[in-house]
Amino acid sequence: MKLFTDHRLTILAGFALAAMLIGAGIAKSGHIPDAFDLARWGHFLAGITWVGLLYFFNFVQAPALANVSPETKAELFKPCGMVRMALWWFRWAAMATLIFGGILLLILTLVRRRAETMGYAAQPFPGMQGMQGMQAPSRSFAGTADAPGRLPPSSDRESFLTSAKQIFVRMQTAWDAKDIADIRRFCTPEIASRIEADMTALGEGRALTEVAMLNAELADVWPESGYEWAAVSFDAMLREQSLDAAGALTEDIRHEVREYWIFRHDPRLEDSTWFLAGIQQAA
């Protein structure tokens, strides 16, 4: 097929396929890309091109040029030759990576300042207003992230944090879908009941939440009242869209969330699951 023998058609087909996949993702999620999304995609694409060409230079071009004749090498280094073209793409891919990265940094800075001005940074994400500290021991986590307690031998730190981040994203998805059955699978009964009450209070309106960035650190681990407790510090950038009963967009905001999610495990049971038991706002 000419599609696979003509490199220009192959590249165009790749971009077309990528556009189709992005469009399908947008249609499924309902999220309309904004400046942050476009800058992030541009940063990734330019970075992949930049690093890919770097590998090409080091592992393909340099060894190949060592084995060609001077005449062939002179042809390759002509203004329209392969080497000059590759260097041109390498230079501008590096520049685009830095430019898009700078745009992302600017957007994040502006969002953070806007959040501080409008008070978003001090608010939990939708549905969590009634969960602050519920069923969790009263405890301050400020300054403990550098020297947290130890997880039980059955729990690996990195695996635990990976699972905690999955629960964070899963919570957003379940909240948007009003899937209380799924929420009950990873929350304590008290927390799940409170979330269900918050969902009912929202009525017919619904939300679409996108986790744009998410970092997690283990803040503390301690035993208390026969349970094992673990606090995970989350620093997230969320995009939240609020829709009315008719599906019309009523609000579209980005804001930063800094919270401690408190997980509880019962060591007396064979079940190794850690359940979400509370959330506290970071100071």
The tens-digit pLDDT sequence of the chain (283 residues) is: 677 778 788 888 888 898 898 888 777 766 677 788 888 889 999 999 999 999 999 999 989 888 888 888 888 888 888 889 999 999 999 999 999 999 988 887 877 676 555 444 444 444 444 444 444 555 555 444 444 556 665 568 889 999 999 999 999 999 998 999 999 999 999 999 998 998 888 777 778 888 888 999 999 999 999 999 999 999 998 888 888 777 777 888 888 888 999 999 999 988 889 999 998 887 6
| DSSP 8-state assignment for residue 147 | S
Last residue of a domain, one of 79, 102, 118: 118
Gyration radius from the chain CA atoms? 25
160 and 269: one domain?
yes
Report how far residue 235's alpha carbon sits from residue 277's, in angstroms, rounded to the nearest whole number.
18
Last residue of a domain, one of 118, 136, 169: 118
Note whether 176 and 208 are within 8 A (CB).
yes
Could you count the other beta carbons within 10 Å of the beta carbon of residue 100? 20
| DSSP 8-state assignment for residue 191 | H
Report how far residue 44's alpha carbon sits from residue 221's, in angstroms, rounded to the nearest whole number.
36
Total structural domains in the chain? 2
154 and 262: one domain?
yes
Tell me, yes or no, whether 11 lies in a domain: no
137 and 95: one domain?
no
Task: State the number of CA atoms in the 13 A half-sphere of 62 facing the CB.
Answer: 7
Note whether 230 and 248 are within 8 A (CB).
no
Predicted confidence at residue 246, as pLDDT, reads 76
Predicted confidence at residue 270, as pLDDT, reads 86
What range does the domain containing 247 cover? Answer: 125-281
132 and 268: one domain?
yes
Predicted confidence at residue 145, as pLDDT, reads 42
Tell me, yes or no, whether 168 lies in a domain: yes
148 and 73: one domain?
no
Note whether 112 and 256 are within 8 A (CB).
yes
pTM greater than 0.75 (yes/no): no
Last residue of a domain, one of 85, 118, 151: 118
Report how far residue 135's alpha carbon sits from residue 190's, in angstroms, rounded to the nearest whole number.
7
Tell me, yes or no, whether 5 lies in a domain: no
Predicted confidence at residue 154, as pLDDT, reads 57
Predicted confidence at residue 143, as pLDDT, reads 42
- By DSSP bridging, strand 249-265 and strand 275-281 are antiparallel
110 and 140: one domain?
no
Tell me, yes or no, whether 181 lies in a domain: yes
Tell me, yes or no, whether 2 lies in a domain: no
Tell me, yes or no, whether 1 lies in a domain: no
143 and 277: one domain?
yes
Tell me, yes or no, whether 13 lies in a domain: no
